[in-house]
């Protein structure tokens, strides 16, 4: 829970976190090194100096470190685990559902565990998706359309096999489809992250929610023009939010465009941990005000009501979380922990 200096409280659901292993021991080839190095460059470029990590810690951190950063030092109340498999780059995968499940099993009231699918897996992958639902009761998946697989360097949501997987998601009750549509990561191809296929899939599957991670950056205009006509498309603010520190004027442009086109009910906060730490992002976001000239031009404002929705209420709605009941559950857990320590 975050309490602003003016006393306002915010229930925080972090929409995009990972428990990854990008260490040299897990790197299958040069591409594994390139990928984690690119993440680290983003970490260094957009983080405040006091939040920079040494490279070896960034490559592989412990579950205990993750919990401490999100829920003790940070202000997150809950967080959504989004896997990224990348098994062509990493021996055991970079960040699989099974690896993320460690956090869900240890801290069941803190984490929402998501799965993943890749339509290039064919029938076998459909069976795996069903297994994830049976075992972990997932309500969402993370899709990485630019992931390499053998000779293939990506896929589209409009592909026939992707439709089969989305149909399976709808049948299984997996309603939240998180799709990476943002900056490229070396060595992946920029064009494989293009947002155009979101338009096709969102129209074809109106009962699914498409949370477009990174709001399409650097294709912000394309994303906004798609999302304004697709009411089941949401903007995940990972990557966009850290600019609040490094490039506040640019962040003001991005968030004002999103508020103008999508409105405050379809934007969700995300730290992209461990690329960035949630503590400083939340503090700066709650304190942030749009410049007067942008407010006049767009006619929108980043109000406290909008911030509450973005920081937690919108994701709570998508995942069926009763915030007041969750607060009571988490407070009960704190009380039990304190009693056990005495």
Tens digits of residue pLDDT in 107-131: 999 999 999 999 999 999 999 999 9
Q: Are 92 and 21 in contact (CB under 8 A)?
A: yes
Is omega for the bond preceding 18 within 30 degrees of 0, making it cis? no
Query: Could you give the residue ranges of the DSSP H alpha helices within the chain?
Result: 30-46, 55-59, 63-67, 97-106, 122-136, 160-172, 196-204, 220-227, 243-246, 248-261, 278-287, 292-298, 304-308, 314-318, 323-341
DSSP string, 223-277: HHHHHTT-TTEEEE-TTTTTHHHH-HHHHHHHHHHHHHHT-GGGEE----BTSS-
Neighbouring-strand partners of residue 106: none
- State how far Cα 281 lies from the chain centre: 14
pLDDT at 68: 98
Neighbouring-strand partners of residue 27: 90
pLDDT at 332: 79
Regions of the chain where pLDDT drops below 70: 333-342
Tally Cβ neighbours within 10 Å of residue 149: 15
pLDDT at 337: 44
Of 204, 205, 234, nearest to 80 by C-alpha is: 234
Out of 3.20.20.140, 3.40.50.2300, 3.40.630.30, 3.30.70.141, the CATH code matching 2-341 is 3.20.20.140
Name the phi and psi angles at 124, rounded to 5. -60, -40
Q: What percent of the chain has pLDDT over 70?
A: 97
**What Cα–Cα distance (Å) separates residue 303 from each residue in 178, 279, 286, 287?**
26, 20, 9, 10
Domain range summary for the chain, segments of one domain joined by + = 2-341
pLDDT at 331: 87
From CA 238, how far away is CA 217, in angstroms rounded? Answer: 10
Tens digits of residue pLDDT in 283-339: 999 999 999 999 999 999 999 999 999 999 999 999 999 999 999 999 875 544 443
- State how far Cα 112 lies from the chain centre: 11
Report the predicted TM-score, pTM, of the whole model to 2 decimal places: 0.95
Three-state secondary structure call for residue 104 = helix
Q: At what angle do helices 97-106 and 122-136 cross, to 10 degrees?
A: 0
Residue 164 tokens, joined: 């089969």
pLDDT at 334: 53
């Amino acid at each position: 829970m975050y309490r602003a200096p003016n006393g306002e409280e915010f229930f925080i659901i972090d929409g995009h976190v990972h428990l990854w292993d990008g260490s040299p021991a897990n790197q299958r080839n040069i591409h594994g090194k390139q990928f984690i190095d690119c993440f680290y460059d983003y970490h260094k470029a957009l983080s405040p100096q006091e939040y920079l990590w040494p490279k070896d810690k960034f490559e592989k951190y412990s579950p205990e470190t993750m919990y401490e950063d999100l829920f003790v030092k940070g202000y997150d109340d809950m967080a959504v685990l989004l896997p990224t498999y990348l098994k062509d780059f990493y021996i055991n995968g970079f960040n699989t559902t099974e690896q993320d499940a460690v956090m869900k099993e240890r801290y069941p009231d803190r984490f929402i565990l998501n799965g993943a699918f890749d339509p290039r897996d064919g029938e076998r992958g459909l069976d795996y998706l069903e297994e994830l639902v049976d075992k972990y009761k997932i309500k969402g998946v993370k899709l990485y359309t630019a992931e390499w697989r053998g000779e293939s360097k990506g896929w589209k949501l409009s592909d026939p096999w992707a439709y089969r997987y989305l149909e399976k998601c709808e049948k299984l009750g997996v309603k939240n489809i998180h799709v990476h549509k943002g900056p490229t990561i070396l060595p992946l191809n920029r064009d494989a992250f293009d947002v155009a296929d979101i338009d096709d899939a969102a129209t074809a599957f109106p009962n699914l929610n498409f949370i477009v991670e990174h709001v399409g950056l650097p294709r912000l205009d394309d994303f906004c023009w798609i999302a304004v006509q697709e009411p089941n498309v949401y903007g995940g603010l990972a990557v966009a939010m850290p600019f609040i520190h490094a490039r506040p004027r640019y962040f003001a442009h991005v968030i004002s465009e999103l508020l103008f086109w999508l409105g405050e009910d379809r934007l969700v906060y995300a730290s992209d941990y461990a690329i960035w730490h949630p503590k400083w992002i939340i503090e700066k976001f709650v304190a942030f005000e749009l410049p007067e000239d942008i407010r006049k031009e767009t006619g929108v404002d980043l109000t406290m009501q909008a911030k509450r929705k973005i920081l937690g209420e919108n994701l709570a709605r998508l995942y069926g979380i009763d915030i007041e009941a969750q607060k009571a559950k988490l407070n009960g857990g704190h009380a039990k922990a304190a009693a056990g320590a005495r």
